[in-house]
Amino acid sequence: MSRTILGCHLSVSAGFFAMGEEALSIDANTFQFFTRNPRGSKAKAIDPADVQRLLDLLEKEKFGRLLAHAPYTLNPCSKDERVREFAAATMADDLERLRYLPGAMYNFHPGSHVGQGIDVGIELIAKQLNDLLDDEGDTLILLETMAGKGSEVGSTFEELKRIIDLTEKKERLGVCIDTCHLNDAGYDVKNDIDGVLETFDKVIGIERIRAVHVNDSKNEVGARKDRHAKIGEGTIGLEAILTIMRHPALKDLPFYLETPNDVPGYQEEIKLLRSHLDR
């Protein structure tokens, strides 16, 4: 039997081991969490004993890789230098903390160029990455594909490729595709996932995709909005989501749900998806 690596977004507030237990209780074999309050406030100190209990559980239960998500309010390519410095300091601190969690990947939103133009945005992001990756660790950093609302950078594969090209330690970089964001950015994942992934392969190289956020969308293709829907309740729909998750280029990657759900809601979605996918 092959078991899909599937989980959802969980809250770190009760600690690391508690997230592992919560994931297990809803039949997840991976999960995502925010490294700190999404507004970017100070993170709680790591309790090494708590993290070790989680690591033991992950190994015993054969979990897939965890995904740590940076606060989505950070803007590494802000016009305001202090905002950029705050993003740099926060991400550096996150990476420092993630050294306690070997194997976990670190996902972030590239940022919004807020009127400076896409070229300046891309350069600022790459500069931050080059500074950030000058660390002692080996955490894999994922750039998330964005929906393209406002002046978001990273809603096209070409933009992500340019960021990667300007980064020195490319071996530390991957991409997390988000099905809702792809849809909202204008990539027709519902009707043509083959074509979308072929384009990704041509522009970036398919092996860069290291994780998938599985979300339905409240919007039509190309709406540039970013509003997630529950699986089967959006414009992408259950059948297309299953086709995406079964795609040969994606099926062995970790999938994380970020649908508007509480934990029992996630449990239902995981059950539904596993009933179709796990054989």
Q: If you ran DSSP here, which 8-state letter would residue 145 be given?
A: P
Taking the C-alpha atoms of residue 103 and residue 112, their distance in angstroms, rounded to an integer, is 28
213 binds Fe ion (CB under 5 A): yes
Binding mask 113-152 for Fe ion (x = CB under 5 A): -------------------------------x--------
For residue 22, which of 266, 206, 273, 272 has the smallest C-alpha distance?
Answer: 266
Spell out, one character per residue from 28 to 67, where the chain touches Fe ion: x when CB under 5 A holds, - when not.
----------------------------------------
The residues near 174 (Cβ < 8 Å, ≥ 6 apart) are: 105, 140, 141, 142, 143, 208, 209, 210, 211
Q: Indicate the residue among 84 and 213 with the shorter CB distance to Fe ion.
A: 213
Q: Which does 152 bind (CB under 5 to 8 A by kind): Zn ion, Fe ion, none?
A: none
Q: Tell me whether residue 152 or residue 226 sits nearer to Zn ion (CB atom).
A: 226
| Exposure string for 93-107, b = 16+ CB within 10 A, e = fewer | ebbebbebbeebbbb
User: Which residues are 112's β-sheet partners?
Assistant: 152
By beta carbon distance, the residue nearest Zn ion is: 226
CB-based contact 222:234 (threshold 8 Å): no
Q: Which is nearer to Fe ion, 55 or 164 (CB)?
A: 164
Nearer to Fe ion, 144 or 184 (CB): 144
Which among 81-89, 183-191, 217-225, 251-259 is the span making contact with Fe ion, rule CB under 5 A? 251-259
Q: Which of residues 213-252 bind Zn ion (CB under 5 A)?
A: 226
Q: Is 226 in the site for Fe ion (CB under 5 A)?
A: no
Determine how many CB atoms are found less than 10 A away from the CB of residue 238.
Answer: 15
- 94 near Fe ion, judged by CB under 5 A: no
Q: How far apart are CA 34 and CA 61, in angstroms?
A: 22
Sign of the alpha-carbon dihedral angle for 168, 170, 173, 177: positive
If one asks whether residue 144 binds Zn ion (CB under 5 A), the answer comes out as no
User: At its nearest, how many Å lie between Fe ion and the CB of residue 155?
Assistant: 12
Asked if residue 228 binds Fe ion (CB under 5 A), the reply is no
Task: List the single partner that 226 binds among Fe ion, Zn ion, none, CB under 5 to 8 Å by kind.
Answer: Zn ion
- Which amino acid is it at 63? F
Residues of the shown chain interacting with Fe ion in the complex, contacts defined by CB under 5 A:
144, 178, 213, 258
